[in-house]
Amino acid sequence: MTTIKQVASYAGVSVATVSRVINETGYVHEDTRRKVEAAVKQLNYKPNEVARSLYKKKSRLIGLLLPDITNPYFPLLARGVEDRMQENDFRIIFGNSDEDRQKELDYMDTFTQNNVVGVISSTNDPDADCYAKLKIPVVFLDRTSSDSLSVYADGAYGGRLAAQEMVARGSKQITVLQGPTHIRPAQDRFRGAVEELQQSNITYHVVETTSFSFKDAESWAKELFRKHPDTDGVIASNDIVATAVIHEAHRLGKKIPDDVQIIGFDDIPLSSLLFPPLSTIRQPAYEMGWEAAGLLIQLIEQSQATKSSTPNLHSKILTHSSIQLPVKFIERETTRKVDYHG
C-alpha cells in the first residue's frame, strides 16, 4: 500500500499539502494541486481508512445487526440499507443476532471497537442498555421503541386491513395466528386484526404461536384446523406461517380460497410463487431499509455538525422523528374476489 508520505515525496511536497488536496481543505496552489493529483494517480494512492478513523475518531463504517439473514424477510431490508449506504460512501459491518442477547452485546462491542459512526438494528429490545450506552446514532429497523428513532411498518393497520379484507370476502369463522409475543410488530398486527374483528362482530379464534419457523408453523397449522375445524379464514402472523397453513389446507383437501381464505403478512418474494399465490399484507421491506439508512445518515451528519459548530437555528434538528411506512393489501389467490373492490 502506498502512503501519503510516498505521494508527498513523489510529488515533491509535504504530507500536509497532499492531505489538503485529497480532502479539498485549505488553500493549495493550482500547480501544486496538479502535481499532487498526478502523483496520486501515478502511485494509485488510496487513503488508509484505518489511520483516518483513528485520527478523526470516526470511520465510514456503520453496523447492521439483523436477526437472521436466512429468514426471507431480511435480505430485502439489508439490501435497502446497503444501497443507500453505498451511495453515501458508507460501508457495512454486518452481523446476525439470532435474537440472542449475548450476540447482540458482542456485536455492539465490535461496532464501537471499530469506530462505526452509526448502527441499524432490528432488535426485540430497543431499550436495552447496550443501545442506551452507545454514543453514536442508532436507528431501529422493523422494531419500534417508544423513545428511540425507528423505521417500521404500520403493523396495527396491517392487522386491521387483513381482517377487513377477509370479512369483506365473506369469511365468517376466522382464526388468527397470534405470532411470537416477544416480537413487537407481530403483536401490533395481531392486535389490529383482533380489534377489527371485534368491531365487526365476527366470530374468531386465536391460536398462539411462538416463532416464525416453518417447521413449528406446520404443527400450529394442524392444531388450527383440529381445534377450529369450521375455520373459513386464516389470518397468519407472517408469510412463512401462512405457507404452512396453505400446505395443511391442501393436505386436508380444503379448497383455497373457497373453503378457506388465507392472508399472510410481509410479502416476501416467496409469496407470489406459492400455489395458490398468497394474498398478503405487504411491508415495504426494501424501502424500510432504505429509509432507515437515510435517517441514520442524517443523524450522523447532524451529530458532526453539532459538535463542530455552534447550534444552528436554521437547520432543523431531528430529535424524535421515527418513520412509519404504509402497508398494503396484495390481492392474490388465497382470497376470494369481491366486486366492490378496486
Partner DNA sequence: TTGTATGCGTTATCAC
Partner DNA sequence: GTGATAACGCATACAA
List contacts with DNA (CB under 7 A): 1, 3-5, 12-17, 19-20, 22-23, 25-29, 31-33, 45, 47-48, 51-52, 54-57
One-letter amino acid of 309:
S
Q: Which three cell numbers stand for residue 13?
A: 511536497
By the 8 A CB rule, do 45 and 39 touch? yes
Query: CA-CA distances (angstroms) from residue 306 to 77, 312, 313, 316?
Result: 29, 8, 11, 12
Does 93 bind a copy of itself (CB under 8 A)? Our answer is yes
By the 8 A CB rule, do 80 and 151 touch? no
**Of the candidates 35, 27, 122, which has an alpha carbon nearest to the alpha carbon of residue 73?**
122
Most distant CA pair in the chain, distance: 85
Binding test (CB under 8 A) with a copy of itself, winner from 237, 243, 261, 283: 243
Residue 265: Cβ within 10 Å count: 34
Task: State the Cα–Cα distance between residues 228 and 264, nearest whole angstrom.
Answer: 19
Query: Smaller CB distance to a copy of itself: residue 204 or 290?
Result: 290
Does 67 bind a copy of itself (CB under 8 A)? Our answer is no
Does 95 bind a copy of itself (CB under 8 A)? Our answer is yes
By the 8 A CB rule, do 277 and 257 touch? no
Q: Which does 110 bind (CB under 5 to 8 A by kind): DNA, a copy of itself, none?
A: a copy of itself
Does 222 bind a copy of itself (CB under 8 A)? Our answer is no
Binding test (CB under 8 A) with a copy of itself, winner from 15, 69, 325, 330: 69
By the 8 A CB rule, do 177 and 248 touch? no
* Size of site (CB under 8 A) for a copy of itself: 46
Does 284 bind a copy of itself (CB under 8 A)? Our answer is no
Query: Smaller CB distance to DNA: residue 57 or 215?
Result: 57
Smallest separation (angstroms) from DNA to the CB of 138: 21
Q: Which three cell numbers stand for residue 107?
A: 456485536
Single out the segment in contact with a copy of itself by CB under 8 A; choices: 46-54, 186-194, 225-233, 301-309: 46-54
What does the binding site for a copy of itself look like in residue numbers (CB under 8 A)?
1, 46-51, 53-54, 59, 61, 64, 68-70, 72, 74-76, 78-79, 82-83, 86, 91-96, 103, 109-110, 112-115, 214, 243, 247, 250, 269-270, 273-275
